[in-house]
Chains A and B, each alone.
Chain A
Amino acid sequence: MSTPVDETVRLRIGSDADLSAVRLQVRAKAQAAGFGLVQQTKLVTAASELARNTLVHGGGGEMEMSEVAQAGVHGIKLAFTDSGPGIADVEQALADGYTSGNGLGMGLGGARRLVHHFDIDTRSQGTTVTIVSWATTPVDPRAVLR
């Protein structure tokens, strides 16, 4: 789908301090990749949602972050991995307002709306959610990337 342009960074997700570190690192990376302010904010917010899911629902895990490029456009790819129980019903989990805990149930579906590419790989041994956001929005990002 895209070519990595630098080293992959790995961040542990095991506490609320780690969530904070994820937000700071993703913000810095998005700035460096030339993201505008709104696009940065969307990516950081999606990362915060997914990292918190890794922590709360997946029992902790890690985030892999790398810069990617496609047709000269730079983007950021984030993969959140845990070895938790997995998501039994992905459609239900993505639905706005569905929560198995006491959240608002907006995290997963909301994060999907905030980025250009969104993928869930889940099984009973764990979950990986991968997202990509581009610095420059293609004319119709979903048409290009899906």
Chain B
Amino acid sequence: MSQIPVIPLGDVLFVSIQGELYDAVALSLQDDVTNAIQAHNARGVIIDISALDMVDSFLGRVLAEIAGCSRLLGADTVVTGMRPAVAITLVELGLTLPELRTARTVEDAALMLGVWVSSRTSRAAPVAVRQDEPEAMDGGSGTDGP
């Protein structure tokens, strides 16, 4: 199974986790994000998990460790798009991950981080992330309103 791309977008790194995830790939994501924060001077990390139909304690720990490590490097992490069934299951599992910041959509996450997610767009106006993004991002964006 191949690596998960870590995409630099202006001040943030964007990661979209797609489908079934092998443990080894999840662990290498941890290294990749850490290295990319340094390489791109990122101030934030947005991890979209709207394509994930399950988060177990292993993946929960990996996400929390990415957030913890990023914070030490000066970048905040926001996880976006968690599905309701995944959230219900995580709570029952006993994993509320209080140290993990979450948002419903990538746009909300960008607002939380106070960053502009596209380097191509003028800083005069906050950006709708979607226009510069591959279609894969759309997962968590369907329900957001003004």
Residues A103 and B20 in contact, CB atoms below 8 Å apart: no
Check if A44 sits within 8 Å of B53, measured CB to CB.
yes
> Is B20's CB under 8 angstroms from A41's CB?
no
- Shortest C-beta distance, B20 to chain A (Å), equals 5
Q: Is A45 an interface residue (CB 8 A)?
A: yes
Interface string of B78-97 (1 = CB under 8 A from A): 00000011101100111100
From residue 82 to 132 of chain B, which have CB atoms closer than 8 A to chain A? 84-86, 88-89, 92-95
Known: A96-B94, A106-B95. A38 touches B88 (CB 8 A): yes
A100-B85 Cα distance, complex, nearest whole Å: 29
Determine the chain A residues whose CB is within 8 A of the CB of B53 once the complex forms.
Answer: 27, 41, 44
Partner of B57, one of A16, A20, A104, A113: A104
- Which residues does chain A contribute within 8 Å of B1, judged by CB atoms? 17, 20
Complex contacts, A38 vs chain B, CB 8 Å = 84-85, 88-89
Q: Is A59 an interface residue (CB 8 A)?
A: no
Contacting residues, chain A, for B92 (C-beta < 8 A): 42, 110, 113-114
Q: Does A139 contact B (CB under 8 A)?
A: no
A107 CB within 8 Å of chain B: yes
Interface range, A side = 20 to 34
CA distance A64 to B93 in the complex (A): 22
Which of B20, B21, B54, B95 has a CB less than 8 Å from the CB of A110?
Answer: B95
A23-66 vs B: 1/0 string, CB under 8 Å? 11001000000000110111011001100100000000000000
A109 contacts chain B at the CB level, 8 A cutoff: yes
Contacts of B56 in A (CB 8 A): 45, 48-49, 52, 107
When distances are taken between beta carbons in the complex, the residues of chain A under 8 Å from B88 are 38, 41-42
A104-B95 contact in complex given A16-B22, A23-B54, A48-B54, C-beta closer than 8 Å: yes
CA distance A104 to B60 in the complex (A): 9
Given A27-B53, A103-B58: A45 and B89 interface contact (C-beta under 8 Å): yes
* Residues of chain A at the chain B interface (Cβ within 8 Å): 16-17, 19-20, 23-24, 27, 37-38, 40-42, 44-45, 48-49, 52, 96, 103-104, 106-107, 109-111, 113-114
> Which B residues contact A (CB, under 8 angstroms)?
1, 20-24, 53-58, 60-61, 84-86, 88-89, 92-95
Q: Given contacts A23-B20, A107-B56, could you give 8 more A-B pairs where the C-beta distance is less than 8 Å?
A: A41-B85, A44-B53, A45-B89, A103-B57, A104-B95, A106-B57, A109-B94, A110-B57
